[in-house]
Structure 1
Amino acid sequence: MKRPIRVLVAKVGLDGHDRGAKVIATSLRDAGMEVIYTGLRQTPEMVVNTALQEDVDAIGISILSGAHMTVFPKVMELMKQKELTDVLVTGGGIIPEADIKKLQEIGVGELFPPGTAMKDIVSYIEEWVAENRNF
């Protein structure tokens, strides 16, 4: 029997607004996923270490602070160092389209702006995990 998809939802940096992250976490749980929510003010190191400890299939980073061009590359670098190469890194928040393209070039998955339908996020994670994870 297949286990539920495990997703880590994280708020990295000094961004103290977590309503959206909580809504996403609840929606993913409602879709049958196991969700680990790290809470506010996490570092990239904390996120990657938690992802390793919890054996997650995906990491979702919520970012509204404008630090996305620092946070996502650092998470990707740490994941590579720890050989965590089969975990989806996705997220959302206020991220300009030009930056989304740059982040995707370094391996970040889809990034979702405010107002994205929850079913689209759920479907994306389910499809990615089905194609890229073996459990």
Structure 2
Amino acid sequence: MAEKTIRVLVAKPGLDGHDRGAKVIAQALRDAGMEVIYTGLRQTPEQIVEAALQEDVQVVALSSLSGAHLYLFPPVVEGLRQQGAEDVLVLGGGVIPDEDIPVLKEAGIAEIFGPGTPTRLVVDYIRQKLGVAGPAGGGPSDQQN
């Protein structure tokens, strides 16, 4: 019996208009055999929660370069909890100061991946947290975002 494909929603909350990193991550996850839904720019936390529920994803990957991560990431986690989807793994990425990481983790963001993180680490983290093995010999290289 084949394992279910991991479904990931990649989202850009807030007014941040820079999506290169989000697109790099989305492509790396696709290359690793995951199904990726990209919401596009300027999404509200509520729109992200709704898309995650509609798309029945196991992972939400949030990207922010605007400095508003403390205001935009936690409402996504809270919205998922309110909808009974507390099992969705929520990740953060972008330019996030080290001192903000513990605050985000306490709010329910499972992990933060900053600029320059090898995409392989993101892929491996998702697979490990979901308990899913990767395809034999496949996956992205250690490309950086």
Q: TM-score, normalised by structure 1?
A: 0.94
Which residue is 2:143 aligned to? none
Q: RMSD across aligned C-alpha pairs, in angstroms? A: 1.0
Q: Distance in 1 between matches of 2:104 and 2:63?
A: 14
Report the AA paired with residue 19 of structure 2: D
Which residue is 2:104 aligned to? 103
Q: Distance in 2 between matches of 1:89 and 1:63?
A: 13
Which residue is 1:3 aligned to? 4
Which portions of structure 1, spanning 4 or more consecutive aligned residues, are displaced by more than 3 angstroms? none
CA contact (8 A) 2:77 2:86 kept: no
Q: Distance in 2 between matches of 1:46 and 1:107?
A: 18
SS at match of 1:46: helix
Uncovered stretches (5+) of structure 1, i.e. residues with no partner: none
Q: Distance in 1 between matches of 2:25 and 2:126?
A: 12
Q: Distance in 2 between matches of 1:30 and 1:73?
A: 29
Q: Distance in 2 between matches of 1:76 and 1:24?
A: 20
SS at match of 1:83: coil
Number of equivalenced pairs: 131
Q: TM-score, normalised by structure 2?
A: 0.88
More helix by share: 1
Which residue is 2:94 aligned to? 93
